[in-house]
């Protein structure tokens, strides 16, 4: 009697766990409305489960379980809550994978106690506990996955999908899982390796995209800072030019006086001094390449502030085969390393 109650309770909690945690993984808020909607769906598929179990027995029910529970759940999340197929499938497969926690705990408890009732009791307790933990600490993170591109989600779904197929093919539709054959025992390691390699590929791609985005932001920030410097330089230049223009009559008068007095050397020196002053009003450029000019200009103050003698001879064409992002990364890192060496 107790065992029958525990079996029924185990089946009910497992079904509810799968339905509610799949919804939570998608970011569906478990408010009163959604709780009742999901409970209604659970009752509907539960009724189908009981009907199949009554008519065909436990073995057939286990074999058709994906078609009377998992597939309807995927379709329900798609059609009612308007999630894409890949998102719904990912959440259901992940929920199924999480069910294995209670399964292992139940098996361990039965091995220790030797009682089947302990197996079902341990599974019920573990299912409730795992649900609370997943809802509290994991569901919010998994909900963010719906923002990812479909291709990346498919990569993440490899592991739960592999285990799902493995579990049903070797444990439900055949008895290979408990046959002790090496090909079965080693398959999960093989699948884990493939999933890990695929994950590394996706992670590396995202890392490269993030690095490129950071370099773009850095380049934009340099452009902004350089624009401010150029504005200030132009203001100073305009002010200096206005002073030179204002004093030009005096400059010409002095030059004329030097020439009239036959002091040609002093006149030439005076002219060179005026030329030198006017050259200082021109905006400073290191080379023809705009990006290199911007980078050198942004680091020039740091170089002088660190007491470094800055001598340069830059001969770079206006256009380079290197992208602006890569050029910014290489030259900026080189200058930073040189400054802090």
pLDDT tens by residue, 273-293: 766 666 554 556 667 777 777
To the nearest 10°, report the CA torsion of 144, 145, 150, 156: 170
- Least confident segment among 53-62, 72-81, 278-287: 278-287
| Of the residues 106, 122, 147, the one at which a domain ends | 147
Contact 83, 26 (CB under 8 A): yes
pLDDT at position 295 over 80: no
Q: Is residue 159 part of a domain?
A: no
Which residue segment(s) compose the domain that 103 sits in? 2-147
- Asked if residue 261 and residue 137 are part of one domain, the reply reads no
Residue 16: pLDDT band (50, 70, 90) is: very high
pTM comes to 0.65
- Least confident segment among 128-132, 198-202, 315-319: 198-202
Q: Is residue 257 part of a domain?
A: yes
How many domains does the chain divide into?
3
Q: Is residue 322 part of a domain?
A: yes
How much is the pLDDT for 153? 76
Q: Which residue has the higher pLDDT, 110 or 241?
A: 110
- Asked if residue 295 and residue 269 are part of one domain, the reply reads no
Q: Which residue has the higher pLDDT, 24 or 250?
A: 24
Q: How far apart are CA 184 and CA 267, in angstroms?
A: 98
Q: Which residue has the higher pLDDT, 87 or 203?
A: 87
How much is the pLDDT for 249? 62
How many percent of the chain have pLDDT more than 90?
Answer: 38
How much is the pLDDT for 201? 75
- Asked if residue 57 and residue 89 are part of one domain, the reply reads yes
CA–CA distances in Å: residue 290 to residues 4, 228, 233: 79, 15, 16
DSSP assignment of 184-242, as one string? HHTHHHHHHHHHHHHHHHHHHHHHHHHHHHHHHHHHHHHHHHHHHHHHHHHHHHHHHHH
- Asked if residue 251 and residue 312 are part of one domain, the reply reads no
For the stretch 190-194, contacts whose Cβ atoms lie closer than 8 Å and that sit 24 or more positions apart, written own/partner, are: 191/158, 191/159, 191/162, 191/163, 191/166, 192/159, 194/158, 194/162
């Amino acid at each position: 009697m107790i065992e029958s109650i525990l079996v029924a309770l185990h089946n009910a909690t497992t079904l509810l766990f799968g339905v509610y945690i799949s919804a939570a993984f998608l970011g569906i808020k478990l408010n009163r409305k959604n709780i009742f909607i999901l409970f209604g769906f659970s009752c509907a598929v539960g009724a189908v489960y009981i009907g199949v179990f009554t008519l065909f027995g436990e073995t057939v029910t286990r074999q058709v379980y994906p078609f009377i529970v998992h597939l309807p759940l995927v379709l329900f999340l798609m059609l009612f809550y308007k999630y894409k197929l890949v998102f719904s499938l990912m959440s259901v497969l992940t929920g199924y994978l999480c069910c294995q926690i209670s399964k292992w705990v139940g098996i361990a408890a039965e091995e220790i106690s030797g009682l089947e009732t302990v197996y079902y009791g341990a599974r019920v307790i573990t299912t409730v506990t795992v649900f609370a933990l997943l809802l509290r600490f994991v569901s919010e993170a998994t909900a963010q996955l719906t923002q990812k591109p479909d291709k990346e989600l498919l990569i993440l779904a490899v592991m739960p999908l592999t285990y799902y197929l493995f579990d049903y093919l070797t444990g439900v539709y055949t008895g290979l899982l408990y046959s002790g054959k090496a090909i079965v025992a080693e398959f999960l390691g093989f699948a884990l390796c493939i999933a890990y390699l695929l994950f590394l590929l996706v992670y590396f791609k995202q890392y490269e995209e993030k690095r490129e985005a950071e370099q773009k932001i850095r380049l934009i920030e340099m452009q902004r800072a350089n624009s401010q410097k150029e504005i200030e330089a132009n203001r100073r230049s305009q002010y200096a030019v206005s002073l030179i223009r204002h004093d030009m009559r005096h400059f010409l008068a002095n030059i004329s006086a030097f020439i009239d007095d036959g002091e040609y050397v002093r006149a030439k020196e005076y002219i060179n001094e005026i030329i030198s002053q006017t050259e200082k009003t021109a905006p400073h450029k290191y080379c023809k390449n705009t990006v290199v000019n911007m980078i050198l200009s942004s680091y020039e103050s740091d170089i002088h502030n660190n007491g470094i003698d800055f001598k340069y001879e830059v001969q770079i064409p206006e256009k380079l085969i290197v992208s602006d992002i890569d050029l910014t990364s290489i030259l900026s890192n080189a200058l930073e390393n040189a400054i802090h060496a």
